[in-house]
Chains A and B, each alone.
Chain A
Amino acid sequence: MTSWTELTDANARAAFAAYFAKVDRALAALPRAEAEEIKRELELHALDAVSEAGDAQAALAQLGDPDEFLADLVADKLRARAARTFSPVDVASALARSAGAGLAGLALSTLVGIGYVVAALAIIMGVSKLFDPAAAGIYRLPDGRIFIGSGDILGGVDIIGIWFSPLAIAAGALLYLALTWVFGRATLRKVAQR
Protein backbone atom coordinates (compact mmCIF):
# COMPACT_ATOMS: atom_id res chain seq x y z
CA MET A 1 0.00 0.00 0.00
CA THR A 2 1.48 3.37 -0.97
CA SER A 3 -1.21 5.80 0.21
CA TRP A 4 -3.75 5.92 3.01
CA THR A 5 -6.46 6.58 0.41
CA GLU A 6 -6.07 2.89 -0.59
CA LEU A 7 -7.20 1.72 2.86
CA THR A 8 -10.34 -0.37 2.47
CA ASP A 9 -11.76 0.24 5.94
CA ALA A 10 -13.85 3.46 6.03
CA ASN A 11 -13.06 4.13 9.72
CA ALA A 12 -9.34 3.74 9.07
CA ARG A 13 -9.57 6.15 6.11
CA ALA A 14 -11.46 8.68 8.24
CA ALA A 15 -8.84 8.41 11.00
CA PHE A 16 -6.01 8.94 8.48
CA ALA A 17 -7.83 11.85 6.82
CA ALA A 18 -8.29 13.62 10.18
CA TYR A 19 -4.68 12.89 11.24
CA PHE A 20 -3.12 14.11 8.00
CA ALA A 21 -5.30 17.23 7.93
CA LYS A 22 -3.70 18.01 11.30
CA VAL A 23 -0.26 17.24 9.83
CA ASP A 24 -0.98 19.66 6.95
CA ARG A 25 -1.90 22.42 9.41
CA ALA A 26 1.20 21.76 11.53
CA LEU A 27 3.46 21.95 8.45
CA ALA A 28 1.73 24.94 6.82
CA ALA A 29 4.60 27.33 7.59
CA LEU A 30 7.10 25.27 5.57
CA PRO A 31 7.66 25.45 1.80
CA ARG A 32 5.32 23.01 0.04
CA ALA A 33 8.03 20.57 -1.15
CA GLU A 34 9.55 20.32 2.32
CA ALA A 35 6.13 19.84 3.93
CA GLU A 36 5.15 17.17 1.38
CA GLU A 37 8.36 15.22 2.04
CA ILE A 38 7.78 15.15 5.79
CA LYS A 39 4.12 14.24 5.29
CA ARG A 40 5.07 11.40 2.93
CA GLU A 41 7.51 9.99 5.48
CA LEU A 42 4.87 10.09 8.20
CA GLU A 43 2.29 8.52 5.91
CA LEU A 44 4.59 5.59 5.02
CA HIS A 45 5.46 5.18 8.71
CA ALA A 46 1.77 5.06 9.68
CA LEU A 47 0.92 2.63 6.85
CA ASP A 48 3.75 0.30 7.96
CA ALA A 49 2.40 0.46 11.50
CA VAL A 50 -1.11 -0.38 10.26
CA SER A 51 0.22 -3.39 8.33
CA GLU A 52 1.93 -4.57 11.49
CA ALA A 53 -0.73 -3.74 14.08
CA GLY A 54 -3.80 -3.97 11.86
CA ASP A 55 -5.41 -1.03 13.65
CA ALA A 56 -5.31 2.47 12.20
CA GLN A 57 -6.17 4.26 15.46
CA ALA A 58 -3.42 2.40 17.34
CA ALA A 59 -0.90 3.07 14.55
CA LEU A 60 -1.64 6.81 14.57
CA ALA A 61 -1.60 6.96 18.38
CA GLN A 62 1.82 5.24 18.29
CA LEU A 63 3.07 7.97 15.94
CA GLY A 64 1.85 10.67 18.34
CA ASP A 65 0.14 14.03 18.17
CA PRO A 66 1.50 15.98 15.14
CA ASP A 67 0.91 19.31 16.89
CA GLU A 68 3.40 18.21 19.54
CA PHE A 69 6.19 16.48 17.65
CA LEU A 70 6.05 18.65 14.51
CA ALA A 71 6.26 21.98 16.37
CA ASP A 72 9.98 21.46 17.10
CA LEU A 73 10.66 20.12 13.61
CA VAL A 74 8.98 23.10 11.91
CA ALA A 75 10.71 25.58 14.23
CA ASP A 76 14.09 23.88 13.54
CA LYS A 77 13.57 24.02 9.77
CA LEU A 78 12.44 27.67 9.83
CA ARG A 79 15.49 28.65 11.90
CA ALA A 80 17.74 26.78 9.46
CA ARG A 81 16.08 28.57 6.54
CA ALA A 82 16.52 31.96 8.24
CA ALA A 83 20.23 31.17 8.71
CA ARG A 84 20.51 30.33 4.99
CA THR A 85 18.64 33.33 3.58
CA PHE A 86 19.22 35.97 6.34
CA SER A 87 15.88 37.40 5.19
CA PRO A 88 14.10 39.47 7.87
CA VAL A 89 10.80 37.82 6.84
CA ASP A 90 12.25 34.33 7.43
CA VAL A 91 13.82 35.50 10.70
CA ALA A 92 10.46 36.86 11.91
CA SER A 93 8.70 33.65 10.94
CA ALA A 94 11.35 31.53 12.73
CA LEU A 95 11.15 33.72 15.85
CA ALA A 96 7.35 33.37 15.98
CA ARG A 97 7.45 29.58 15.46
CA SER A 98 10.22 29.00 18.00
CA ALA A 99 8.35 31.10 20.56
CA GLY A 100 5.38 28.76 20.13
CA ALA A 101 7.47 25.58 20.54
CA GLY A 102 7.51 25.32 24.32
CA LEU A 103 9.29 27.18 27.11
CA ALA A 104 12.80 26.61 25.75
CA GLY A 105 11.68 28.00 22.39
CA LEU A 106 10.06 31.01 24.03
CA ALA A 107 13.23 31.72 26.02
CA LEU A 108 15.41 31.38 22.91
CA SER A 109 13.13 33.62 20.83
CA THR A 110 13.00 36.24 23.60
CA LEU A 111 16.79 36.35 23.98
CA VAL A 112 17.43 36.46 20.25
CA GLY A 113 14.58 38.96 19.81
CA ILE A 114 16.24 41.33 22.32
CA GLY A 115 19.44 41.00 20.29
CA TYR A 116 17.57 41.93 17.11
CA VAL A 117 16.07 44.99 18.83
CA VAL A 118 19.60 46.10 19.81
CA ALA A 119 20.79 45.53 16.21
CA ALA A 120 17.83 47.51 14.83
CA LEU A 121 18.45 50.38 17.28
CA ALA A 122 22.11 50.56 16.26
CA ILE A 123 21.17 50.74 12.58
CA ILE A 124 18.42 53.31 13.20
CA MET A 125 20.78 55.52 15.23
CA GLY A 126 23.48 55.20 12.56
CA VAL A 127 21.09 56.16 9.78
CA SER A 128 19.45 58.98 11.75
CA LYS A 129 22.87 60.58 12.37
CA LEU A 130 23.35 60.85 8.62
CA PHE A 131 20.34 63.18 8.47
CA ASP A 132 20.74 64.90 11.84
CA PRO A 133 24.30 65.01 13.25
CA ALA A 134 22.94 65.67 16.75
CA ALA A 135 20.57 62.68 16.63
CA ALA A 136 22.93 60.10 18.10
CA GLY A 137 26.55 59.40 18.86
CA ILE A 138 29.17 58.43 21.41
CA TYR A 139 29.49 61.23 23.92
CA ARG A 140 31.90 62.04 26.74
CA LEU A 141 29.80 63.54 29.52
CA PRO A 142 31.05 66.41 31.72
CA ASP A 143 31.69 63.93 34.56
CA GLY A 144 33.93 61.82 32.29
CA ARG A 145 31.51 58.94 31.66
CA ILE A 146 30.94 57.67 28.12
CA PHE A 147 27.38 57.62 26.78
CA ILE A 148 26.22 55.89 23.62
CA GLY A 149 22.77 56.86 22.46
CA SER A 150 20.53 59.58 21.26
CA GLY A 151 18.76 62.60 22.64
CA ASP A 152 19.86 65.93 24.08
CA ILE A 153 23.22 65.32 25.69
CA LEU A 154 23.73 68.40 27.84
CA GLY A 155 27.37 69.35 27.84
CA GLY A 156 28.41 66.07 26.22
CA VAL A 157 31.19 66.01 23.64
CA ASP A 158 30.56 63.97 20.50
CA ILE A 159 33.72 61.84 20.37
CA ILE A 160 33.71 60.29 16.90
CA GLY A 161 31.30 62.58 15.07
CA ILE A 162 29.93 61.35 11.76
CA TRP A 163 32.03 58.16 11.98
CA PHE A 164 29.35 56.99 14.38
CA SER A 165 27.05 56.37 11.40
CA PRO A 166 29.06 53.70 9.51
CA LEU A 167 30.24 52.12 12.76
CA ALA A 168 26.72 51.84 14.22
CA ILE A 169 25.27 50.54 10.94
CA ALA A 170 28.09 47.98 10.58
CA ALA A 171 27.74 46.89 14.24
CA GLY A 172 23.98 46.48 13.85
CA ALA A 173 24.35 44.52 10.61
CA LEU A 174 27.07 42.29 12.06
CA LEU A 175 24.97 41.63 15.16
CA TYR A 176 22.00 40.74 12.92
CA LEU A 177 24.11 38.33 10.86
CA ALA A 178 25.74 36.73 13.92
CA LEU A 179 22.44 36.32 15.76
CA THR A 180 20.77 34.78 12.70
CA TRP A 181 23.69 32.38 12.21
CA VAL A 182 23.57 31.28 15.86
CA PHE A 183 19.75 31.14 15.87
CA GLY A 184 19.80 28.83 12.85
CA ARG A 185 22.04 26.39 14.65
CA ALA A 186 20.18 26.38 17.96
CA THR A 187 18.51 23.10 18.79
CA LEU A 188 15.26 22.67 20.65
CA ARG A 189 15.04 18.97 21.05
CA LYS A 190 12.63 17.45 23.47
CA VAL A 191 11.14 14.00 23.64
CA ALA A 192 7.40 14.31 24.09
CA GLN A 193 5.73 12.74 27.09
CA ARG A 194 3.73 9.65 26.41
Chain B
Amino acid sequence: MMGEAVLDWEKRWRKAVLPFAALAVLAESPKHGYALATALRDLLGAAAPEGTLYPLLNGFERDGLTSAEWAIQETGPARKTYALTDKGRNVLKEGVERWAVFNTSLRGLIE
Protein backbone atom coordinates (compact mmCIF):
# COMPACT_ATOMS: atom_id res chain seq x y z
CA MET B 1 0.00 0.00 0.00
CA MET B 2 2.77 2.41 1.03
CA GLY B 3 4.76 1.39 -2.04
CA GLU B 4 1.80 2.20 -4.29
CA ALA B 5 1.57 5.71 -2.87
CA VAL B 6 5.26 6.31 -3.54
CA LEU B 7 4.93 4.94 -7.07
CA ASP B 8 2.01 7.31 -7.64
CA TRP B 9 4.12 10.26 -6.40
CA GLU B 10 6.95 9.24 -8.67
CA LYS B 11 4.59 9.06 -11.65
CA ARG B 12 3.38 12.59 -10.90
CA TRP B 13 6.94 13.91 -10.53
CA ARG B 14 7.89 12.44 -13.88
CA LYS B 15 4.88 14.05 -15.57
CA ALA B 16 5.52 17.38 -13.87
CA VAL B 17 9.11 17.62 -15.12
CA LEU B 18 8.19 16.64 -18.69
CA PRO B 19 8.23 20.21 -20.15
CA PHE B 20 11.50 20.99 -18.37
CA ALA B 21 13.06 17.68 -19.46
CA ALA B 22 11.86 18.20 -23.07
CA LEU B 23 13.63 21.58 -23.22
CA ALA B 24 16.77 20.05 -21.69
CA VAL B 25 16.79 17.23 -24.28
CA LEU B 26 16.33 19.75 -27.13
CA ALA B 27 19.22 21.81 -25.70
CA GLU B 28 21.54 18.87 -26.51
CA SER B 29 20.57 18.89 -30.19
CA PRO B 30 17.56 19.57 -32.43
CA LYS B 31 15.24 16.59 -32.66
CA HIS B 32 12.06 15.44 -34.35
CA GLY B 33 9.08 14.31 -32.29
CA TYR B 34 9.87 10.61 -32.15
CA ALA B 35 13.56 11.15 -31.29
CA LEU B 36 12.49 13.51 -28.50
CA ALA B 37 9.93 10.99 -27.24
CA THR B 38 12.54 8.23 -27.23
CA ALA B 39 15.04 10.36 -25.32
CA LEU B 40 12.37 11.29 -22.77
CA ARG B 41 11.29 7.66 -22.43
CA ASP B 42 14.91 6.70 -21.67
CA LEU B 43 15.11 9.50 -19.12
CA LEU B 44 11.70 9.40 -17.43
CA GLY B 45 10.16 6.08 -18.44
CA ALA B 46 6.70 6.09 -20.02
CA ALA B 47 5.56 9.17 -18.08
CA ALA B 48 2.70 10.02 -20.43
CA PRO B 49 1.31 9.02 -23.84
CA GLU B 50 3.79 10.27 -26.42
CA GLY B 51 1.10 12.20 -28.29
CA THR B 52 0.99 14.68 -25.39
CA LEU B 53 4.41 15.91 -26.54
CA TYR B 54 2.83 17.57 -29.58
CA PRO B 55 0.62 20.07 -27.69
CA LEU B 56 3.70 20.75 -25.55
CA LEU B 57 5.90 21.37 -28.61
CA ASN B 58 3.19 23.57 -30.13
CA GLY B 59 3.16 25.65 -26.93
CA PHE B 60 6.99 25.92 -26.96
CA GLU B 61 6.89 27.12 -30.56
CA ARG B 62 4.09 29.61 -29.91
CA ASP B 63 5.97 30.99 -26.87
CA GLY B 64 9.17 31.31 -28.94
CA LEU B 65 11.09 28.70 -26.91
CA THR B 66 11.66 26.47 -29.93
CA SER B 67 11.71 26.87 -33.69
CA ALA B 68 10.64 24.10 -36.03
CA GLU B 69 11.27 23.24 -39.65
CA TRP B 70 10.73 20.27 -41.92
CA ALA B 71 14.28 19.02 -42.36
CA ILE B 72 15.41 16.69 -45.12
CA GLN B 73 16.91 13.51 -43.65
CA GLU B 74 19.87 11.52 -45.00
CA THR B 75 17.51 8.57 -45.20
CA GLY B 76 13.73 8.52 -45.05
CA PRO B 77 11.14 11.27 -45.36
CA ALA B 78 11.49 14.90 -44.22
CA ARG B 79 10.83 15.34 -40.49
CA LYS B 80 9.61 18.31 -38.52
CA THR B 81 12.61 19.09 -36.37
CA TYR B 82 12.52 21.22 -33.22
CA ALA B 83 15.43 23.33 -32.03
CA LEU B 84 15.79 25.46 -28.92
CA THR B 85 15.87 29.22 -29.54
CA ASP B 86 17.94 31.70 -27.50
CA LYS B 87 14.80 32.47 -25.51
CA GLY B 88 14.32 28.73 -24.90
CA ARG B 89 17.92 28.43 -23.67
CA ASN B 90 17.42 31.34 -21.29
CA VAL B 91 14.19 29.84 -19.95
CA LEU B 92 15.92 26.49 -19.50
CA LYS B 93 18.88 28.15 -17.73
CA GLU B 94 16.51 29.90 -15.33
CA GLY B 95 14.66 26.62 -14.80
CA VAL B 96 17.92 24.81 -14.00
CA GLU B 97 18.87 27.49 -11.47
CA ARG B 98 15.47 27.34 -9.78
CA TRP B 99 15.58 23.56 -9.79
CA ALA B 100 18.98 23.65 -8.04
CA VAL B 101 17.57 25.91 -5.30
CA PHE B 102 14.50 23.66 -4.93
CA ASN B 103 16.66 20.54 -4.82
CA THR B 104 18.95 22.03 -2.17
CA SER B 105 15.96 23.00 0.01
CA LEU B 106 14.49 19.52 -0.32
CA ARG B 107 17.79 17.84 0.48
CA GLY B 108 18.12 20.02 3.57
CA LEU B 109 14.72 18.78 4.68
CA ILE B 110 15.17 15.08 4.08
CA GLU B 111 18.84 14.48 4.94
- Taking beta carbons and an 8 Å cutoff, which residues of A are in contact with B? 2, 37-38, 40-42, 44-45, 48-49, 52, 62-66, 68-70, 72-73, 76-77, 80, 187, 189, 191-192, 194
Contacts and interface: CB of A to CB of B under 8 A. Distances in A.
B77 A2 contact: yes
Contact of A49 (B11, B34, B63): B34
A62 B18 CA distance: 16
A63 B79 contact: no
B48 A41 contact: no
B51 A76 contact: no
6 contacts: A49-B34, A62-B50, A64-B48, A70-B51, A189-B19, A191-B18
Given A2-B77, A45-B33, A76-B55, A63 B50 contact: yes
A191 B48 contact: yes
Interface string B39-54: 0000000111111101
B80 A191 contact: no
A90 to B, nearest CB: 16
Contact of A76 (B15, B18, B58): B58
A1 to B, nearest CB: 8
A19 B54 CA distance: 16
Most chain B beta carbons < 10 A, residue from A68, A77, A189: A189
Please tell me the size bucket of the interface on B: 20 to 34
Contacts, number: 78
Nearest to A38: B54
A68 B48 CA distance: 12
A59 to B, nearest CB: 9
A193 to B, nearest CB: 8
A192 B55 CA distance: 11
Interface in B18-73: 18-19, 32-34, 37-38, 46-52, 54-56, 58-59, 62-63
Most chain A beta carbons < 10 A, residue from B11, B52, B59, B80: B52
A76 B80 contact: no
Contact of A194 (B19, B34, B49, B62): B49
A80 B59 CA distance: 10
Contacts of B51: 42, 63-66, 68-70, 192
B108 interface: no
B59 A69 contact: no
A194 B46 contact: yes
Contact of A41 (B33, B38, B46, B62): B33
Contact of A189 (B33, B56, B77, B79): B56
A37 B76 contact: no
Contacts of A45: 33-34, 37, 50
Nearest to B19: A189
